[in-house]
Amino acid sequence: MTNSIAEIKDCKLIFLIGGNPTEAHPIVGLEMKKALRKGCTFIVADPRQIWFAQHAKLYLPVRPGSDNWLLNAMAHIIIAEGLENKEFIKTRTEGFEELKSFVKNITPEKAEEFTGIPAEDIRQAARLYAKSEKSAIFYTLGITEHTCGTDNVRTIANLALLTGHIGKSSTGVNPIRGQNNVQGATDMGALPDRMHGYQYLSDPAVVEKFEKAWGIKLPRTQGITSPTMFERMNKNQFKALYVIGEDPVMSEPNQNYTINGLKNLEFLVVQDIFLSETAKYADVVLPATSFAEKDGTFTNTERRVQRVRKAVNPIGNTKPDWQIICELSNRMGYKMDYPSPKEVYDEIASLAPVFAGINYARIESNGIQWPCPDTKHPGTKFLHEGKFTRGLGKFFVLPYRAPAESPDKQYPLLLTTGRTLYHYNAGTMTRRSAGIIHKTNDCFVEIHQSDAGELGVFDGEMVKIATRRGEITARAEVSEKVKKGVIWIPMHFVEAAVNKLTKDAYDNITQTAEYKVCGAKIEKI
């Protein structure tokens, strides 16, 4: 997030696109509800009539995969009606003329054809967003989990650059992160191309610094991402995988493909707190402790590094992940010797300027938001004030790219997936919690009543949902919540794993899978 959670309540306009905070990020949802009570205008673009859609000034029922049209058409209106922030464009951005000539032809009428949103509503959305004094965009995986996910994010950024709605309090571009420490895992360089603190291996100075600090020679070969690893596994060109705290069988798209890949491995190690679906294929399973049994830090969606504290002793004969990794490393001949996570954090801070000012003593009562370059620095509430990381903000010209698989005659419905309030991801934790399973404990498929009518499907009936990759059975929830032609299934239920259905097609830059669009059909059982 470029802004902080505490700034949400003071937003004057919130443009929420591809996110459902009341369910997936409930406490951010509460902050947005505060803003709503204070008169904040909401524009909500989503294929489902989520809570905020029902309370929005403008609800844009966007067809999944067509966000590009909506966003570029909004840019078209902003420029055509002279609502752009000329001063901001002149002093803080580059590439405006290219964008201007590109969006000239992206009219709201054309966008209506692709998005299903009335052209007049797109106009209205653009005007409201541009004119408000404090406009903030919030998005989540509805924007990123597409083959054009990166394009979508950049098209969002175009709107913020056009209007200057960035780099100010309660004004910015805010992806809300889905997992407790997804921000931290990225910050810590658990990625093939960079070390922690966004220090890229393409920079020889970075390589030299870490070789000196760690006392080794760093590998010079390009690392590969998890989708590429699965591709190689499926081609029998990858030998071993060590999976820590993740259940790719449940969370990767196209489950059959994932399982085939894992089966082809010579050696699979899984480290987790439960015997996950992935662990069933492992050669060795290492039992880890839960967050309640260890010390450390998580970094939240507003870049706040916060303490995690040990409350109970490890259950059974389990060990915290950090200790297991150290013991493995020592056995493999690279010495890792830390008395506690505190010393690990000190090393992290000593090797990355953006975290240099953070240590356990400073985050004892409240966390600190990075960038925090020294121990006197209070942390950074919002980003991009006065200057962008790369200098000038760049406009991107991004024409529409269709999803990898759209509905067709054989699979006429558009399947999109997501999370619910009650369950979390693969469900390994929440499905073992009594209060949560009391409220909901089975998989369902949301379908528009007119589609259900055509299929002769009744509310509550069990139906079969199939795609080119597999099929599952789930309870039909018939209503007008989801857009006509679209069906929606949550991802939490192992007995009806929606990732048996999703397509293994990926964004060309981030390699995030297209969980949000594929062709599907529903059959009565």
Partner 1 sequence: MVMIPKIKVNIDGKTIEVDKGKTILQAANSTGIRIPTLCHDSRLEPFAACRVCMVEVERGTSTALVTSCNTEIADGMVIRTDSEKVLKTRKMVLELILSDHPRDCMTCEKCGSCELQDLAYQYGVRESQFFEEPDGGIIEDENPVIQHDTSKCILCGRCVRICAEVQQDYAIDFKNRGFETQTGTPFGKPRRDTTCVLCGQCVSTCPVGSLVEKQAVGMGREWDFKQVKTTCAYCGVGCTMYLNVKGNRVVKVTSKAGSVPNDGNLCVKGRFGYDFIHHPDRLKHPLIKKNGKLEEATWDEALNLVAGKLGEIKAKHGPDNIGVFSSSRCTNEENYLAMKFTRAAIGTNNVDQCART
3-state secondary structure of 24: helix
For partner 1, which is the closer residue by CB, 17 or 363? 363
- In terms of Cα–Cα distance, which of 319, 270, 294, 320 is closest to 426? 270
- Applying CB under 8 A, the span of 80-88, 332-340, 386-394, 468-476 interacting with partner 1 comes to 332-340
Which of 84, 112, 121, 302 is close enough to bind partner 1 by CB under 8 A? 302
Q: Does 4 bind partner 1 (CB under 8 A)?
A: yes
Q: Does 178 bind partner 1 (CB under 8 A)?
A: yes
Pairing of strands 518-524, 413-418: antiparallel
Cis peptide bond upstream of 353, omega within 30 = no
CA distance 46 to 269: 39
- Applying CB under 8 A, the span of 89-97, 120-128, 160-168, 193-201 interacting with partner 1 comes to 193-201
CB of 124 to partner 1, least distance (A): 25
Q: How many residues does the chain have?
A: 525
Q: Does 242 bind partner 1 (CB under 8 A)?
A: yes
Q: Does 172 bind partner 1 (CB under 8 A)?
A: no
Which of 158, 171, 199, 301 is close enough to bind partner 1 by CB under 8 A? 301
Q: Does 299 bind partner 1 (CB under 8 A)?
A: yes
What contacts 54, CB < 8 A, 6 or more positions away? none
CA distance 34 to 481: 24
Which of 3, 11, 33, 116 is close enough to bind partner 1 by CB under 8 A? 33
Name the β-bridge partners of 476: 445
Which of 285, 397, 462, 494 is close enough to bind partner 1 by CB under 8 A? 285
**Contact positions with partner 1 (CB under 8 A) in 416-435:** 421-422, 424, 428-430, 432-435
Q: Does 199 bind partner 1 (CB under 8 A)?
A: no
**Contact positions with partner 1 (CB under 8 A) in 200-229:** 201, 214, 216, 218-219, 221-227, 229
Q: Does 240 bind partner 1 (CB under 8 A)?
A: yes
CB of 397 to partner 1, least distance (A): 25
What contacts 510, CB < 8 A, 6 or more positions away? 144, 149, 150
* Contact (CB, 8 A) for 344 and 338: yes
**Contact positions with partner 1 (CB under 8 A) in 248-267:** 248, 251-253, 266-267
Side chain identity at 103, as an amino acid letter?
Answer: V
Q: Does 312 bind partner 1 (CB under 8 A)?
A: yes
| Start-to-end C-alpha separation, the chain | 45
Local structure of residue 484 (DSSP, 8 states): T
Which of 322, 395, 444, 488 is close enough to bind partner 1 by CB under 8 A? 322
- In terms of Cα–Cα distance, which of 119, 63, 44 is closest to 516? 63
Pairing of strands 240-244, 267-272: parallel
- In terms of Cα–Cα distance, which of 333, 344, 3 is closest to 165? 3
Site string for partner 1, 127-166 (x = CB under 8 A): ----------------------------------------
Q: Does 243 bind partner 1 (CB under 8 A)?
A: yes
* Contact (CB, 8 A) for 395 and 158: yes
CA distance 236 to 280: 20
**Contact positions with partner 1 (CB under 8 A) in 81-110:** none
Q: Does 404 bind partner 1 (CB under 8 A)?
A: no
- Applying CB under 8 A, the span of 156-164, 239-247, 375-383, 409-417 interacting with partner 1 comes to 239-247
- SS3 for 264-276 is HCCEEEEEECCCC
3-state secondary structure of 414: strand
For partner 1, which is the closer residue by CB, 19 or 61? 19
DSSP 111-172: HHHHH---HHHHHHHHHHHHH-SSEEEEE-HHHHSSTTHHHHHHHHHHHHHHHT--SBTTBE
Which of 187, 277, 451, 477 is close enough to bind partner 1 by CB under 8 A? 187
* Contact (CB, 8 A) for 315 and 293: yes
**Contact positions with partner 1 (CB under 8 A) in 341-380:** 341, 344-345, 347-348, 366-367
Q: Does 180 bind partner 1 (CB under 8 A)?
A: yes
- In terms of Cα–Cα distance, which of 50, 334, 299, 14 is closest to 185? 299
Q: Does 183 bind partner 1 (CB under 8 A)?
A: yes
Q: Does 269 bind partner 1 (CB under 8 A)?
A: yes
- Applying CB under 8 A, the span of 131-139, 191-199, 441-449, 463-471 interacting with partner 1 comes to 191-199
For partner 1, which is the closer residue by CB, 205 or 525? 205
Q: What are phi and psi of 521, to 5 degrees?
A: -135, 155
- Applying CB under 8 A, the span of 79-87, 285-293, 457-465, 480-488 interacting with partner 1 comes to 285-293
Q: Does 238 bind partner 1 (CB under 8 A)?
A: yes
CA distance 109 to 121: 11
Which of 120, 208, 283, 523 is close enough to bind partner 1 by CB under 8 A? 283
For partner 1, which is the closer residue by CB, 182 or 397? 182
For partner 1, which is the closer residue by CB, 88 or 422? 422
CB of 162 to partner 1, least distance (A): 26
